[in-house]
Structure 1
Amino acid sequence: MRAFVITGPGRAEVLDVPPPEARPGEVVVDVERAGVCGTDMEFFSGAMSYLHTGQARYPMRIGHEWSGTVAAVGAGVDRAWIGRRVTGDTMLGCGRCHRCTGGRQHVCADRYEIGIRNGRPGALAEQLPVPVKALQVLPDSVDPALGALVEPAGNALRAVNAAALPPGGRLLVLGPGTIGLLAAQIAAAHGADVHLLGRGAAALEFAASIGFTRTWTAETLPDLPWDAVIDASNGAALPALAADLVEPGRRVVYVGLASEPSPVDSRTLVLKDVTAVGVLSASGGLAGTVELFAAGLVDPRPLIAATVGLDEVGAVLAGERRPSWGPGPKIHVRPSDEGCVS
């Protein structure tokens, strides 16, 4: 089968690799759609921290936002899974340690992460092996594009839930990228008064085009009481800003990651009695996200700027964008196609 393989910093190619076999407890999925995200770009550039800590190494096959159809099952897996449309969790814990048995498999010290950690192959390929326990069934109303957005939106849903907004509360989201916009959409679906803070005019204009007219820059941000602040940015200074801006006794949620240390003064948290919550992964948020999508309460498809083939992925990871693509922040890949699709 064809798969996108990163062979070193700034180097990648589409290779013919052996197709996966369904091992005991696993299925093989025919990948219909996969998303490209900032983590993938960091692996391509060589900046991703896992490459420097030994948790990932080249060559590697990326892709952890995906949807597809189960094509084969391994020993111990019900054959009724064959033909089901699915997506799945990225985080695959060992299943034995105290974290896994305590419901925290996504922070298992020995976990695999699909397309990210400890050599587990990713979804930028025609087929993907996945443990059956990680699967999330997709209803007919959730198409392949929505299915491949479940994983990033699961992160956003967890962030919104962690914000613990009061009814009709005012939320400030830092960073109008994919996760920030998904969090904004989900919070708005729950009745929140959503505001976004960003830097680039194009990103803020896009946010306004999908209904978020309360968009600000650092210079225009109004002095309002923020019932919660979600930092979905990669700015090293914004975690501290989130703590400064949030109302006393409320919550800040950190779901974005900077490429350098981003300190927060604990005195701010203590003296304001602020709760700070970190969110890692969509684990625990997948089912709720599928329900939101299936009910039509959240439709993130406008975030997809284009859908391309595997041969285009290297250019995407290098930051290239075709003039014909839309303004959204997300690029999807259809692994079975060659060249630019749409």
Structure 2
Amino acid sequence: MRALVLPGPGEAEIMEVPAPKAANGEVVVDVERVGVCGTDVEFFTGEMAYLHQGHAAYPMRPGHEWAGRVSAVGTGVDPRWIGRLVMGDTMLGDGTCRRCRRGRQHLCERREEVGIRGGRPGALAEQLAVPASSLHPLPDEMDAALGALVEPGGNALRAARATRVGPGDRVLVLGPGTIGLLVAMFLRASGAQVHLMGRSGGSLEFARSLGFADTWTGDDLPQAPFDAVVEASNAVHLPALALDRVEPGGRVVYIGLAGEPSTIDTRTLALNDVTAVGVLSASPGLADTVAAFASGEIDPRPLVAATVGLTGAGDVLAGRRPEGAAPGPKIHIDPRRQ
């Protein structure tokens, strides 16, 4: 089968690789749609922390935001999975450790992450093998394009819920990228008053097109009280700004990751009685995200600017937007296309 392989930093090649087989407890999925994520870009550039921590190594096959149809099952797997449209959890715990037994497999020290960690091949390929236990079936109201948005949506849902805000509360989201906009959508659905701060006029204009009128840059952000702040950018200085702008007694949610260490003043955290929450992984939010997308409560489709074939994935990883792309932040890959 064809798959995208990263032989090293700055390199991306379409290669013929052995097609996967469904091992015991696994399924093979015919991949229909994959979202390109900032993590994939960091693997392409060589900046991803896992490369330097020994959790990942070249050559590697990325892709973890995916949807497709089950085409084969291994021993011990219900054959009724065959033909189902599914997406899957990225985080695959060992199933035996203390964290896994407590339902926190996404924090398992020995976990694999599809297309990210532990050598588990990713979804930027014509087929993908994953454990059946990681699958989430997609209802008839959803297609593969929506299915490939569930993984980032699950992260965003968890971040939105971590703010613990409700109707009338003011929330500031830093970073109007895919995750930030999805967080804003979930917060808006909860009745919160959502403000977005970014750098690019284009990204803020796009946010306004989604109905978010309160959009700002760092230069004109109002001195208003925010009951919660969600830091969803990759800027090294914004975690500190998030803490500075939250109301005493409020909550700061950190879901963005900078390429180098960022710092906050814990004196501000303690003296203002602020709660800080970190969010890693969509795992606990996947089922509820599927339900929100299927019901139409959240419509993330406008975030997808373009869909290209597998041979276009290298250009996307290198930061080149497809010709004619809409203004949204997310690019999808359809591995069935050339």
The match for 1:148 is: 148
Q: Distance in 2 between matches of 1:288 and 1:166?
A: 18
Pairwise CA RMSD of aligned residues? 0.7
Q: Distance in 1 between matches of 2:192 and 2:142?
A: 24
The match for 1:263 is: 263
Q: Work out whether residues 166 and 190 of structure 2, in 8 Å CA contact, stay in contact via their aligned partners in 1.
A: no
Q: Work out whether residues 88 and 136 of structure 1, in 8 Å CA contact, stay in contact via their aligned partners in 2.
A: yes
Letter in 1 for 2:4: F
- TM-score where L is the length of structure 1: 0.98
The match for 1:234 is: 234
The match for 1:183 is: 183
Q: Distance in 1 between matches of 2:304 and 2:199?
A: 20
Matched, 1:304 2:304: yes
Letter in 2 for 1:226: F
**Once the two structures are superposed, what CA deviation does each residue of 1:120-144 show, in whole Å capped at 9, x if it has no partner?**
0000001111111111110011111
**Once the two structures are superposed, what CA deviation does each residue of 1:42-93 show, in whole Å capped at 9, x if it has no partner?**
0000011111111100110000000011111111001011111100110000
Matched, 1:282 2:282: yes
Q: Secondary structure at the match of 1:8?
A: coil
Q: Secondary structure at the match of 1:152?
A: helix
Q: Distance in 1 between matches of 2:103 and 2:162?
A: 17
Q: Work out whether residues 166 and 227 of structure 1, in 8 Å CA contact, stay in contact via their aligned partners in 2.
A: no
Q: Distance in 2 between matches of 1:167 and 1:209?
A: 22
Q: Work out whether residues 166 and 191 of structure 2, in 8 Å CA contact, stay in contact via their aligned partners in 1.
A: no
Q: Distance in 1 between matches of 2:229 and 2:115?
A: 30
**Once the two structures are superposed, what CA deviation does each residue of 1:122-178 show, in whole Å capped at 9, x if it has no partner?**
000011111111111100111111100000010000000111113321110000000
The match for 1:4 is: 4
Q: Distance in 1 between matches of 2:78 and 2:310?
A: 31
The match for 1:164 is: 164
Q: Secondary structure at the match of 1:27?
A: strand
Residues 102-181 of structure 1 aligned to structure 2 (within 5 Å)? 102-181=102-181
Total equivalences in the alignment: 338
Closer/same/farther in 2, CA of residues 287 and 179 from structure 1, 3 Å limit: same
- For structure 1, list consecutive stretches of 5 or more residues without a partner in the other structure: none
Q: Distance in 1 between matches of 2:226 and 2:13?
A: 46
Matched, 1:196 2:196: yes
Matched, 1:220 2:220: yes
**Residue 103 of structure 1: how far off its partner (Å):** 1.3
The match for 2:314 is: 314
Q: Distance in 1 between matches of 2:175 and 2:11?
A: 29
Q: Distance in 1 between matches of 2:134 and 2:323?
A: 37
- TM-score where L is the length of structure 2: 0.99
- For structure 2, list consecutive stretches of 5 or more residues without a partner in the other structure: none
The match for 1:82 is: 82
The match for 1:63 is: 63
**Residue 194 of structure 1: how far off its partner (Å):** 0.6
Q: Distance in 1 between matches of 2:113 and 2:160?
A: 23
Q: Which runs of 4+ in 1 moved over 4 A?
A: none
Letter in 2 for 1:243: L
Q: Distance in 1 between matches of 2:67 and 2:323?
A: 27
Q: Percent identity?
A: 65
Q: Work out whether residues 228 and 250 of structure 2, in 8 Å CA contact, stay in contact via their aligned partners in 1.
A: yes
